[in-house]
Structure formats: C-alpha cells, structure tokens
Structure 1
Amino acid sequence: MAAVQIFKSSRLFPATKPNPLLCLPHFSSAPSDQTPPEPNPLIPSVVSILTNLRSKSRWGYLRSLYPSGFTPTDFSQIALQIKNNPHLVLRFFQWTQNHNNPLCSHNLLSFSTTIHILARSRLKSQAYSLIRDAIRVSEPLQVFEALVKTYRQCGSAPFVFDYLIRACLESKKIDPALQIVRMLLSRGINPGLNTCNSLIRCVMQARGAWAGYEIYREVFGLDGGVRVARARPNVQTFNELMLGFYQDGAVEMVEEIWDQMPEFGCCADVYSYSILMETYCEDEKMSNAEELWEEMRGKGVEPDAVAYNTMIGGFCRVGEIEMAEEFFKQMGLSGIESSGAACEHLVRGYCKIGKIDEAMLVYKDMLRKDFRAESLTVDELIRGLCGESRVLEALEVMRAAMIDYGFCPREKSYEFLIGGLCEQGKLEEALKLQAQMVGKGFKPNSEIYSAFISGYMKEGNKEVAELLRNEMLDTQVCGIAD
C-alpha cells in the first residue's frame, strides 16, 4: 500500500485490511500478512564471518567470498541476526556503501532495519543520521511506512518515530511531519513532548502563530472542548506559543496563553516571565512589567540575564534611565555579568535623553569587553553626537566601528554626519563621506543636497550652491518620472 493512500480515508486503518502499524505497541495485535522468506544459506555464513573474524580481516574476506554483494533483503536478515551488536551492524552498513563498487544497493527495507537496531540500542545520533539520509532519497511517508513494517521484528521503540518527525522538521518538510504525528496520535502513540514542541515552533515560524496554536490544540487533544487523554503540554510548550504570538504582535494572546498554564499544572519559568515582561515593555506598560517582576521574585524564580535585559531595555525605551541603571546595578550584584544587550540598551537610553557623555562611556566600556554593537546602537550614538555638534567624534566612532567589527552605516547616519560637517564648514570631509556613501549604494537625497547647498552658501560660493540646487531639482524630477 502506497504511503500516500494511508491519508485518503478518514478511518486510517480499516479493520478489514490489516496494516503494519497494528504491530506497534498499544495497537491490537494482528497476524502478519507476509510470508516468511525461504532460508538463505548466505545469511548464517556472513553472520559467522562478522562475529568470529577480527575486524581487520573480516571485510576483505567477505568481499572475496561475495564480490557481487548483497540484496537489501539479505542485508536486513544479516543485520537482524547480529542486532545485539549495533555497532557492528552500523559498520556493516557503512562498509557496503563506502566502496567505489558498493556491495548493497540499500533501499528502505535495509535502511529501516538498521535505523531500528540503532534506535533500540540508544545510538540516537547514528539512527537520526540514517533517517536524514533516508528522507533525502525517499519521501518521508514512505520512510515512515518502511519503519512501521520493520518495527516489530526489530524490537524497536516508539521514539524512533520522533527521530523521523524531527528530521522532517529539520528539512522543512512540515506537512509530512504533521501527517506522521496525526497517524501516530490516531492509534494512541504520543510523540515525545520535545518533538511536539519542536513541531509547534516550526509551524509558527513557517506559517504564523495562529497556525502553530491550532497544531498545539490538535496535538494535545484540546479541540472541541474535549480533552483527549494525551501528553500534557509543559512550560516549554507555553513559552513557544507566547514567543510566537509576541513576535506576531498579538499581545492579547500572549496574556491568554499565560493564563492557560495553571490549567495544566505548569509553573512559569524565568523565560516565561521574560516574554510577558517584554510584551509589556514594548507597549511601554512599565508598571505591568514591574508587577510581573515582583511576582517572579516573590515566587522564587531567579531572574537571568534575559530578564534583566528586558527590564533595562523597557525603562530605556520610556526614558526612565535611573530605573534602568538600578536594574543594571542589581544585575551586577546578583553575579550576572553585564551583556552586550544591556549595554546597548543603556547607550540608546542615554542618547534618548541627551546624555551623550554617559552614552559614550558605556559604549567605550562595551568595546573594552569586546562586545559588538548593533547598527541601531551606533546609529543612535552618531545621531546624538552630531546633535551636539561633535561631528568629528561621531565620524571617528563610525570609522572605528567599520574597521573593528564591520559596522555598516545606515543612510541616516550619513545624513547626520554630512549635515554636521557642512554645518561646520568642513566641505572637503563632507564630500569624501558622500563619495563613500555612494560607494555603499546610497544615492544622494534632498537632505544631502540641502546640507551641501547650505554649506556652500555659508562659504559664499553661490555658484556651486545654485548648481547643486538645479541638480537636486533635476534628480527629483527624474525620480518622479521613473
């Protein structure tokens, strides 16, 4: 039965047609519809060589005896005979692949047998690697069906399907992952909680928070108001949901998800608090954020660097720099080293209220600690310095940042610097900077033209100023025409 056909019926596994999945744990047992293969004398011979000869001699001996190699069925039967030695099974699998003339054209049968043997022995990374290889050459649903058919005879465990789901998610194959999860849930097999959380996260990232929320309700059996006896969400589940809705700007849903946690006996952790506090901070509801902070401390949840950064950033955003400084101080007293994010919040906060000297002190401290400032932070610092007519200092900040860590100035930074240089009559420096600006892909705009026109007028060079004015008008007309 083709894997795709499994999904065409609302009843996945009709009672009249035994399905290989019925052999999985928690499914009612059903007799196998497969006829046992005829005994193959090759199998015990190869098993004996693999188990009795030393590793240095066994491979050459096998190649000399069986130059034509093995069929996938032969390989699977051999592997099952030595399944209690999973490392040997893996070496045998790799040996049949690693020659210029492969000794086995592996298919989904041999892949799935090897995967099960590795999984049952908790060789997780090796099993996961083979699953990734399998879905590169076959459809995930076909891999799933092959794993189902070989499940019982390999003595595997349900978590092997978690590996398959995660491999699908890693490969951005979200729809097959969803179908596999639904098939397992329909027969009472719950994917691992971490797998469910990964599925929700991937759906939210690819299709938005609401799509992820629908999958959350489906996976945990919350649809229709009837809670099916399935795995229960944990705090990481709710964190994924809150983060997704926060990133989508759905503030009311962040609070709603927060309120759902107690229903499942989940206690918010420091990351949960940080997400909700950040939601309040972004909306400049600092009193709400402070109340949440006090609640967190009252419940014995110790804040981490993310929580401190959230509050520091929130207070800087609303210009309450003294409160930001207090949290920064508490952060140090708590033994948490200041991060680049906290310093950047302070730099922008000081610039916001016009305390440029304090902003420069924090910025220089950042550089001493080898923190790299984001473009927005450097741009704000340049703007603040230019606003105080400290243009040469601002220019030095920009040049040093470009050299030290590849800072890429935005158009506004060039505007501030060129405007300041022209204002101070430093037209030569302004022209050099304008040439650099063009080299970075920015075209002169009306602000740049106006700065140069004003500069040349102050210098008494009305002729050049008039030429620039006409050029600006021509440029604007061409821009409209384009």
Structure 2
Amino acid sequence: MLLWMRRKGSNQISCLPQKFSSLVTIAGKSSNQSNLSIETNSSINKIIRIINDHPFPDQPLQPTLLQCIPPAPVLSNTFVENVLGRLFAAHSNGLKALEFFKCYLNHSQFCPSSDAFEKTLHILARMRYFEKAWELMEEIQQRHPSLLTLKSMSILLSKIAKFQSFEDTLEAFQKMENDVFVGRKFGTDEFNVLLRAFCTQRQMKEARSVFLKMHSRFPPNTKTMNILLLGFRESGDVTAVELFYHEMVRRGFKPNSITYNIRIDAYCKKGCFGDGVRLLEEMEQVNCLPTLETITTLIHGAGVVRNPIKARQLFDEIPLRNLHSDTGTYNALMSSLVRSKDVKSAVALMDEMEEKHIEHDSMTYQIMFSGLMRSNGIEGVCELYHKMVERNFVPQTRTVVMLMKFFCGNRQLDLGLNFWNYLVEKGYCPHGHALDLLVTGLCSLGRVQEAFECSKQVLERGRHISEPVSRMLERFLLQRGEMDKLSTLNQMIKKLQDILPPSVGHAVGSSASIEEN
C-alpha cells in the first residue's frame, strides 16, 4: 500500500487554487473581450444590461431576448461565450444565464460551443441549482453530445463534491458514466476528474478512499499522481509531498515539469526558497526544462522570503530561457515588490506592462490595491481606482469586495456608491458581501434611501440579499416611518423566495461566500 495512504496527518487542504491546473494563483487569465470589436463589445454590454435589468421573475426573459439579440452572424459562438463569461463573473442570476443559453440553443443556426455550455453549467452548479444542471446535461446529451467534455464533467463533479456528500459525488460519477456520457468508455482520464473533484475541495480522505477503491479499474498515470501530489502540497506539509514524490518515483512514474513545479511551489509557500532553487537546478540536470510557470513560482517564492533582488534576477532571466513574460510573471514580480514594501517599483512595473501591451488582469489590480492600501492610503488607491474605471476594467469579486470595504471603512461612501453604480452600469450585479458593506456604511450615516435603492437593484436582478441587510433596512425604514418602502422590500424578497429559493445549504436571504470560479 502506498505510504501516503498510511499517513496519520491532516486530511484537509488549507487553500486550493480556483483552477486546479494552475500552480500559481497569482497568474490570472486574460479576458477575450480585448480582442473583440467596439461594435461587438457594445452589443455584449447591451445584452448583459437587458438580462441583468430584466424584472425577474415578474416577466419571462426569452421573449425579450428574442427581440433584442443580434442576428447571425453577429450572434456567434464567441459572442455567446463572452456574454456568459460576463454573467458568470458578475454573479448574475443563474436561471437568467440558462434562459440566454437556451434561447441561443433553440433559435441559432449555429451549434453551440462546448465553452458556452460549460460556462452555463458552471453558473448553475456554483449557485447549487443541481437539478437544472442535470437537466441541461441530459438535454445536451440528446441534442449535442459532442459538447460533453472532461471539463463539463469536472465542473459538475467538483461542485457536487463541495456542496453535497461523498456518496452523492460517487453517484453523480456513476450517473455520468451510465446516463450522460453514453457510449463513452470511462478510463483513467475520467478517474482523474473524479479524484480532482475531491482534491480541489480539500477532501483528501475521500480522495484516498476513491483511489483505493477504484485504482484497479482505472490504472493511474503520471497525471493521477500529480493530482494527488498537488493535494499534499496544499496541505502545507512539505514532508508529505516529498514522501509521496519518492513513492511515485519508486513505483515507476516519471516526474515531469508539473511534478517539479508542485514540489517547488510547496517549498516556496513554506518560505524554503533555497530548496525551490535547488529543485530548479535538479530539473535542468535531468533535462526537464523549466516552464514559465516554474519561473513564475520561484519569483513568487522570492517574494515570500522578501528577496526582491532574486525575484528581479529570475524575471530578467526569462528571455534567456527562450520564454516570454506574461501577465502572470509580471504579477509575481509585482507581488514580490509589494511584499518588500517597494510599491513605487510595483507601480512602475504596471506602467511597463502597459507600454509592452501586456494586459492588466484582476490579479494585477488586486496586488496593487493591496499594496497601495498599506502604503499610500486613500490617495494612491483613488488614483488607481479612477484609472481602472477610465480603462473600463471590471475586477473580480475579491477585488470588488476589498475596494468596497476600504471605501466604506475610510468613510468614503460617495466613492463606494460611485463604484457600485459603475458595476451596475457595466451590467454586473455586485456580490452580496459588497452590498452588505455598502448598506451598512450608508445606513450608519443616515443615507437610508440610497441603501434601499442598492438593495432593490439586487432583488430586481434576481439575487437574494442577506438577512442582516434586510433586518438593517427594516429597522431604519421603521424608524423613519417609510412603511411603503418596507412593504415593497418585503414583497420583493417574498416573491423571489417563492420563485427562486436560496441555494441549498444557505439560510434564507443570506449571501454566498466569495467565489471567483
């Protein structure tokens, strides 16, 4: 039996990246929107606003969409993928996203892409609408079975593993094999998806159980071992990583660049940067060429130990290795500089990215806002915030909540409200945590009308507001004798709960946790 199966240590993973295939969480993914024409972007923005502003559930959405969606060839797969990507990033109502996808499915001359289907499935699964997700899977199986991919399987299994039981996840895997992926012989690739679902949800005990139970049916490969190795890395136990690595080698699996990247990252996260560099040298000695991800991991590791000189040296060596710096490597160096309190150099690096036409992503802004908040205070944050708005960039939820917390905590409620309106105008339905912060700040200053309007906007877009927010508004509206507004609010909450119950596992009206993917 493998050594890792006998270990008595913790079975939980402390923190896993949102995309399991990415070993460096600071490496963001660029948006496709920058490659679209101005006219297409304008059409996308229009559709997003129509979907989010539609009075849900008072009126059906599809008739409105049929009147407003652009004709072919404008309504291409790329167009649909970008709309769904925006709806996902904006935490829009999942059933609205489903209606948009079905409208395209039923009324377009094109076969939908697997990416569009996967985005829709992800939106539903993230909101825990598993019944709708299964219905969509079964409809696609009947109409476009070629769209059923390992990625779609991974999306649904990962969310079931997160929100439901171990037994439910195994049953879901069996259902996919027997009823959904009909005619497909399940093998090691599908087994890896199942293992990955448990590992990404910090369920190493379950992953071990599945491996023991099913590895004789699905012979493991190097990817299987890397998935499990990554799980041990995220447990924060470097010794466990090394024990499993040596067991992996002993059993005949040849380490690849991903294997080394995982080990390097394990050492870097624990502040053992020297060991990470040693593994880089070992890679080169065994003719396993370092990848851009390897160097990015080490740059980030140099930042962990506050060594910006080494981080810069590694960054400057990238062209010498016949590699090309991307947004992720710039983010890594920027993070190293911020950790060393050299925010000025980090700002210069952001300008350099712009000069070289390397895209800023949400992580770029997250790093810079975090650094500016600790050093330059409100002035530096405001300057970058206004630049971000001028560039029409909408950050991911984590950055949205961080900015809203900063604005409200520094009594800059006008900036917080300005940011809220900017997000809404861009077609986003800001996350519940951002609403909680803004409503609390506004009510504390007696700006109850504005707090009421923001909450009403969320409900109109088919999203629940949290119980603390509803109680706070109830208290302040009662104090002001505004019974008509209180009645309107209660009616909207009740109607939404009747038509769209809160996701399974949530208290009525409570906000979901911050989740980017």
Q: TM-score, normalised by structure 2?
A: 0.42
Q: TM-score, normalised by structure 1?
A: 0.45
Where relative contact order (Cα < 8 A, 6+ residues apart) is larger, the structure is 2
Larger Rg belongs to: 1
